[in-house]
Structure 1
Amino acid sequence: MTSDQASAEERATAPGVTDVTPVPLAQVSSFDHEVDVLVVGAGCAGAAAAMEAAAAGAEVVVLERASGPGGSSAQSGGELYLGGGTAVQRACGFEDDADNMFAYLRAALGPHVDEEKLRLYCDGSVEHFEWFRSCGVNFQESLYDAPTWMPFTQDGLMWLGENAWPYNELARPVPRGHRPATKGWAGHTVMEALMGACREGGASVHTDTRARSLVVDDGGRVVGVVARRFGSQVTYRARRGVVLTTGGFVDNDEMLTDHAPVLLGHGKVSDGLDDGSGIQMAAALGAATRRMGFVEAAYTAVPAMVCRGMLVNGLGQRFINEDVYPGLFSHAALHQPGPCWVLLDEQGLESVPDGDEMGVRPTYAAETLEELEEELGLPTGSLGRTVAAYNEHAATGTDPLFHKDARWLRVLEGPWAAVDPRLGFFAEGSTGGGGTGFQGFTLGGLSTTVDGEVRSVTGSLVAGLYAAGRASSGIHGEGYVSGTSLGDGTFFGRRAGRAAAAARA
């Protein structure tokens, strides 16, 4: 018997095999489980897809390779990028609409956003907010009004760069970062609510079950999955469709090397299981991928410090307005000569609110900029020139070079301190991003329609196969804003679940 003729059982039980080759239906003698819709991955997109499919009357099972649901979604900050006039926005005194939201996101997530998906996302944002509330996600009607990665308060609304240049000139500034009433990291709060609603809706979750290969019939339609559970093979028949919500590929260095090498050597924002397996299973069927080189990077620099001082690169030069959404200064820093430093004076350091310092203290201090340059290994005179130019304009309340908002502008005076973002947050001596200060994740994935249908490399659709979340290419172009992963994943996960449930059995 040749390797091509080997049965699904033989290939799946061979030790160490990670073959994602599709399994012909004829090679599966029987199925252990049969359902209408099979969702692979129990993160935010998978929960949303399962809920909508079950609400449409489909019998649904969700496969999760870990011992519990949640995935990277549960470990996230929990921000949900929503707008258009939500109840929280109105309660905080802000008027918003879908067109205004679209104008901001088209710029902030660009260039090269998926405008068709983005338009739908903005138009449906208020309804999507109400859907979260119906699932049990609660929001406090108050605003956290300062730059931050995440508030360590229960405020339900935060700015995510909408009020920073150049975006404040492209769209009316309105905050859209919605957060559950949880202090700090709130991804677990979102996922607890979604999985509770998912189970109440009738979907079943099979944990410790890793999908390995897609099953296809003679016509090329995806009709199931071959999985592994505690060393044994388990087969699933999906009468209407399979929805892949398996996450991105930041944990797969081979895929990073091929598609997004900019993240190699840096930390990973994931639960450790974003290995691209769903993308690989679909690609083995001829599925098309899209924008696999697009990534997000987070620099472990404290926004409350950055906006009160300045961010300089390895040449001692500013390169961005420091009051922007921190993901934006992070992405810019990733492409700078490094390392980059947070420069503060004594007044700026002492004005950082308690708790907002995220456990970070300066690693260098000096009476003069010349002394600090020497300690940091920066070119002689570089900080002096940078600070002199900054102070000249700050004295008049302007920043003609980078347009930092006047709220954060003032003349900086010694003594001086510098923070090394490579040391990370909270724990003294800890490192962020594997010692580089950067942590990232991937944005590209399977090419899908707005209803999650997976496209093939020929431009046709892969029958019976859907995808959502980071396993797919969503609304993003080359940019990113917090909350658009959970927002995009759930919004298009819902659409994929409905589409799969409506497919002919």
Structure 2
Amino acid sequence: MADATPLRPLPAAEATWDRTADVVVAGYGIAGVCAAIEAARAGSRVLILERTSGWGGAAALAGGFIYLGGGTPLQKALGFEDSPENMEKFMLAALGPGADEDKIADYCRGSVEHYEWLVANGVPFKAEFWGEPGWEPPHDEGLMYSGGENAAPFNTVAEPAPRGHVPQMSNKRTGSKGGGYMLMKPLAETAEKLGVTAEYDVRIQRLIVDGDRVVGVVAKQYGKELDIRAEHGVVLATGSFAYHDRMIEGFAPRLIGRPGAAIEEHDGIAIRVAQALGADLAHMDATEVAFFGDPQMMARGILVNGRGQRYVPEDTYPGRIGQLTLFHQENQAYLIIGEAAYEQSLTTETSTPFFRQPPTWAAETIAELESDMGLPELALQSTVELYNKHAVDGKDPLLGKKQEWTKPLEGPFAAFDMRGFTAGFTLGGLRTDLDSRVLHVSGEPIPGLFAAGRCTSGVCAGGYASGTSLGDGSFYGRRAGIAAAKN
């Protein structure tokens, strides 16, 4: 169904100005708050327009990973060596194909300074490392591997270093109030102290232009249309298009029918209003895929597809497992694990206990399990035989699972039906330069228009690591605020 809201820009001559600010920011999530802080520090009067009734966006509900490295003080305090060049090697290998090399190099070289900026603005990090498999630290530890850096194939591309920096927070509730809350809270408080004004329950409708320059936005609050002038620039920071069905069908069809691992306010409005001005897009088909499995169990077992074959090193980043399952295995997955390994996994701590469900099948032998699962005779048996043959020596020549997790499967056995255990969100969006200026299809910046966060194509072009959304959203949100204030 077509959107009823007109998206074409409104000529400034037809606007009846209701509000004026130097910099108008659409969206009060991580990209928006960082843009607001930097614009305010540059001397601009800043107005944030937020469609919900409070600050936070998707960031406040997230686990809170910020992907940082290159030798941050937290990495050094915990004894991990890293460099911008090493970080760049990993990101180029893991976040492609077609990753923006200039943007990744820029991000890696500015990563340490960005960490220091976050700390200076009140974001707390505890100098403690969580080294167990998991979606995120179950306590308030500040550092964790969050992208498969220490798993095949990336541990052969760059020296592994943990880069998932998590704000310190106690009593976290994954999915409802995670570490992302303690990222947003101090930043929102900083913005307020700087005099940033916020209007809530406001939805942007379209942009206002004077010639080819963006000079404001049309928004709606409680049914009333408002024309809001931006003397210096407009920053778009309204999130992805994960909850816009028509955009999913047109750009990211692999997510059709999958739950959105985002918030429903991510309806692509920033992309659509900028498209109406001729804005260029990038990597609109790129998506991250969450996989609803327990990493402690997966690392101790083997994941097989609908043909009973292994297809991924089970000790890698769960988001990579999700992508490989949905994109390359028709969303078909089963976890096979021995009884002793299963019971051992249940003794470990986890931030996602709801992923620990009883097995679907149990059997004394792999042959029985194979039959119960409805797999072709010898399909699973041959997979387990090959795996066990090398696992006796702690080796996995097929997929490269690390020695600490590569142990023979021993019965009795359990199997988990994990078909369809995926959800996703989009990674593509507006094409921007290193100053977060939105680029026209001609390659030139659109005057007065800036963007950051998941409404843009950031450092991810296909692959993903937890923390890259909050990382490049905050990093390039800052750039957007600085550039808009100077505009």
Aligned pair partner of 1:340 in 333, 337, 340: 333
How many angstroms does 1:151 deviate by? 1.6
Aligned pair partner of 2:122 in 131, 136, 141: 136
Q: Which residue is 1:243 aligned to?
A: 235
* TM-score normalized with structure 1 length: 0.92
Amino acid across the alignment from 1:299:
F
- 2:137 is paired with a residue of what secondary structure? coil
Aligned pair partner of 2:218 in 215, 226, 230: 226
| Contact 2:296-2:348 within 8 A present in 1 as well | no
Aligned mates of 2:48, 2:416 — CA distance in 1: 45
Q: Which residue is 2:376 aligned to?
A: 379
Amino acid across the alignment from 2:301:
G
How many angstroms does 1:444 deviate by? 0.6
Aligned pair partner of 1:298 in 272, 280, 290: 290
Q: Which residue is 1:355 aligned to?
A: 349
- 1:180 is paired with a residue of what secondary structure? coil
Aligned mates of 2:363, 2:264 — CA distance in 1: 40
Aligned mates of 1:375, 1:292 — CA distance in 2: 41
Aligned pair partner of 2:181 in 188, 192, 201: 188
Amino acid across the alignment from 1:333:
T
CA-to-partner distance for each residue in 1:229-280, whole Å, 9 max, x for gaps? 0011112100000000011101001001110000010010111111100100
How many angstroms does 1:76 deviate by? 1.2
Q: Which residue is 2:65 aligned to?
A: 79
Amino acid across the alignment from 1:336:
Q
How many angstroms does 1:350 deviate by? 1.2
Amino acid across the alignment from 1:465:
L
Structure 2's unaligned 5+ residue stretches are none
Amino acid across the alignment from 1:162:
E
Q: Which residue is 1:176 aligned to?
A: 163
Correspondence list, 1:197-208, <5 A: 197-208=190-201
- 1:469 is paired with a residue of what secondary structure? coil
Q: Which residue is 2:303 aligned to?
A: 311
| Contact 1:315-1:337 within 8 A present in 2 as well | no
- 2:300 is paired with a residue of what secondary structure? coil
- 1:228 is paired with a residue of what secondary structure? strand
Amino acid across the alignment from 1:80:
I
How many angstroms does 1:420 deviate by? 3.0
How many angstroms does 1:338 deviate by? 4.3
Aligned mates of 1:347, 1:175 — CA distance in 2: 29
Aligned pair partner of 2:52 in 66, 73, 89: 66
CA-to-partner distance for each residue in 1:189-223, whole Å, 9 max, x for gaps? 21112211111222111110001010001x22100
Amino acid across the alignment from 2:26:
V
* Alpha-carbon spacing, 1:135–1:492, altered in 2? closer, same or farther (3 Å): same
Seq. identity, %: 47
Aligned mates of 2:95, 2:461 — CA distance in 1: 5
- 2:262 is paired with a residue of what secondary structure? coil
- 1:342 is paired with a residue of what secondary structure? strand
How many angstroms does 1:376 deviate by? 2.3
Amino acid across the alignment from 1:301:
G
| Contact 1:299-1:437 within 8 A present in 2 as well | yes
CA-to-partner distance for each residue in 1:297-340, whole Å, 9 max, x for gaps? 11111111110101111111100111111111111011204420
Which of structure 1's runs of 4+ aligned residues deviate more than 3 A?
A: none
Aligned mates of 2:189, 2:404 — CA distance in 1: 43
- 2:17 is paired with a residue of what secondary structure? coil
Amino acid across the alignment from 2:483:
A
Correspondence list, 1:235-274, <5 A: 235-274=227-266
Q: Which residue is 2:385 aligned to?
A: 388
Q: Which residue is 2:402 aligned to?
A: 405
1:164 matched to 2:159: no
Q: Which residue is 2:75 aligned to?
A: 89
- Mean alpha-carbon deviation: is it higher for 68-77 or for 349-358? 349-358
Q: Which residue is 2:14 aligned to?
A: 27
- Mean alpha-carbon deviation: is it higher for 345-354 or for 226-235? 345-354
* Alpha-carbon spacing, 1:57–1:247, altered in 2? closer, same or farther (3 Å): same
Aligned mates of 1:280, 1:85 — CA distance in 2: 38
| Contact 1:224-1:237 within 8 A present in 2 as well | yes
| Contact 2:41-2:194 within 8 A present in 1 as well | yes
| Contact 2:281-2:457 within 8 A present in 1 as well | yes
- 2:471 is paired with a residue of what secondary structure? helix
Aligned mates of 1:450, 1:247 — CA distance in 2: 19
Aligned mates of 1:338, 1:215 — CA distance in 2: 43
Q: Which residue is 2:204 aligned to?
A: 211
Aligned mates of 1:337, 1:486 — CA distance in 2: 29
Aligned mates of 1:364, 1:196 — CA distance in 2: 51
CA RMSD, Structure 1 to Structure 2 (Å)? 1.3
Amino acid across the alignment from 1:315:
R
Amino acid across the alignment from 1:257:
E
Aligned mates of 2:416, 2:181 — CA distance in 1: 30
Amino acid across the alignment from 1:81:
Y
CA-to-partner distance for each residue in 1:107-143, whole Å, 9 max, x for gaps? 1112211111111110011111111112211111111
Aligned mates of 1:317, 1:341 — CA distance in 2: 10
Amino acid across the alignment from 2:367:
E
Aligned mates of 2:158, 2:300 — CA distance in 1: 25
Aligned mates of 2:377, 2:126 — CA distance in 1: 50
- 2:207 is paired with a residue of what secondary structure? strand
Amino acid across the alignment from 1:488:
D
Aligned mates of 2:416, 2:112 — CA distance in 1: 40
Aligned mates of 1:92, 1:261 — CA distance in 2: 42
Aligned mates of 1:413, 1:17 — CA distance in 2: 59
- 1:489 is paired with a residue of what secondary structure? helix
| Contact 1:75-1:270 within 8 A present in 2 as well | no
